[in-house]
């Protein structure tokens, strides 16, 4: 959705924010991401805070609630959530502001080992039982080949959306942000999702899959599970591209097809 500056939020919403932060001296809209109707770093009386938000009646508002619910369960590689506000038709999250940059996934990028370290840390986290969280078996139900859905089941906490603008690099660390799609499932799903994004940053299929293989969950997964993932992901991206065929979505579909082909033709 279009992103508005902080100043254009309704006065009541801005007041609710200043109740949390103290006076706002400066607000800078940040780039990256598509879903947030506002995404701004605020310099406030109490320090800096990153605020992202969406109208409460927007179809993606549920994703924002999921993000708020999962925040207390996230590893240290994720910025700290200070507060969550539902006010005057807006849903807002206030995070520790990170003065970083988006990850560079290009082959040989020094960011890649940092991303590997953060995802390794995440791989050890179990999906919390006490919050509503999506199940991988539901998300992939329509796409997994018949008889393979059980492979997607598991108890790992998955991020699933490794767009490079969902990873902030700061002080030699990669921070995983934008938890709109927290999911409970098999741990190997996240390395697979990351591999697809690496391909969009010019990794060959072999390089991207080799990177996934750095994670024990992927290395030790059953070949049938990984080929099911390839087929399912290709079907999912074909559907996304068919709905609105932007060049980026068509490219992702090609990467997913290539991954599916590789994973279904392992000797």
160 is a contact residue toward ligand ADP (CB under 6 A): no
Tokens describing residue 73: 């369960």
Polymer length in residues for the chain: 267
* Nearest CA-CA partner of 128 in 154, 153, 157, 152: 157
CB of 84 or CB of 214, closer to ligand ADP: 84
CB of 58 or CB of 251, closer to ligand ADP: 58
Q: Which region, left, alpha or beta, applies to residue 5 given φ > 0 means left and ψ of -120 to 50 means alpha?
A: beta
* Nearest CA-CA partner of 167 in 122, 234, 212, 217: 122
Among 35, 109, 120, 135, binds ligand ADP (CB under 6 A): 35
Backbone angles phi, psi at 170, to 5 degrees: -155, 135
264 is a contact residue toward ligand ADP (CB under 6 A): no
With tokens 């899959």, the residue in question is: 209
Tokens describing residue 209: 């899959």
Q: Which does 30 bind (CB under 5 to 8 A by kind): ligand ADP, Mg ion, none?
A: ligand ADP
x-marked contacts with Mg ion along 145-174 as a string, rule CB under 5 A: ---------------------x--------
- How is 100-140 classified by DSSP, letter by letter? -EE---STT-THHHHHHHHHHHHHTPBPPSSS--EEHHHHT
Q: Quick one: which segment of 29-37, 135-143, 190-198, 217-225 binds ligand ADP (CB under 6 A)? A: 29-37
3-class SS letters over 202-226: CCCHHHHHHHHCCCHHHHCCCHHHH
67 is a contact residue toward Mg ion (CB under 5 A): no
41 is a contact residue toward ligand ADP (CB under 6 A): yes
Q: Which of residues 89-118 bind ligand ADP (CB under 6 A)?
A: 95-98
x-marked contacts with Mg ion along 16-55 as a string, rule CB under 5 A: -----------------x----------------------
Among 13, 14, 148, 178, binds Mg ion (CB under 5 A): 178
CB of 144 or CB of 167, closer to Mg ion: 167
Binding site for ligand ADP (CB under 6 A): 30, 32-36, 39, 41, 50, 52, 79, 95-98, 165-166, 177-178, 180
């Amino acid at each position: 959705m279009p992103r508005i500056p902080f100043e254009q939020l309704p006065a009541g919403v801005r007041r609710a924010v200043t109740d949390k932060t103290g006076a706002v001296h400066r607000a800078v809209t940040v780039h990256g991401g598509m879903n947030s109707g506002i995404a701004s770093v605020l310099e406030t009386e109490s320090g800096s805070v990153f605020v992202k938000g969406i109208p409460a009646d927007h179809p993606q508002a549920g994703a924002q609630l999921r993000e708020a619910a999962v925040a207390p369960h996230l590893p240290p590689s994720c910025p700290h959530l200070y507060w969550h506000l539902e006010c005057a038709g807006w849903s807002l999250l206030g995070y520790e502001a990170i003065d970083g940059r988006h990850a560079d996934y290009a082959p040989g990028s020094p960011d890649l080992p940092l991303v590997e370290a953060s995802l390794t840390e995440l791989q050890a986290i179990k999906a919390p039982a006490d919050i509503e969280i999506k199940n991988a078996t539901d998300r992939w139900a329509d796409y997994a080949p018949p008889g393979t859905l059980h492979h997607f089941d598991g108890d790992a906490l998955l991020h699933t959306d490794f767009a490079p603008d969902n990873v902030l690099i700061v002080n030699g660390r990669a921070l995983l942000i934008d938890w709109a799609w927290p999911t409970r499932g098999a741990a190997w799903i996240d390395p697979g999702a990351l591999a697809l994004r690496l391909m969009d940053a010019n990794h060959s299929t072999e390089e991207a899959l080799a990177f996934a293989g750095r994670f024990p969950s992927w290395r030790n997964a059953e070949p049938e599970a990984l080929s099911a993932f390839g087929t399912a992901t290709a079907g999912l991206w074909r559907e996304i591209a068919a709905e609105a065929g932007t060049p980026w979505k068509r490219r992702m579909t090609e990467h997913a097809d290539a991954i599916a082909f590789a994973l279904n033709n392992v000797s």
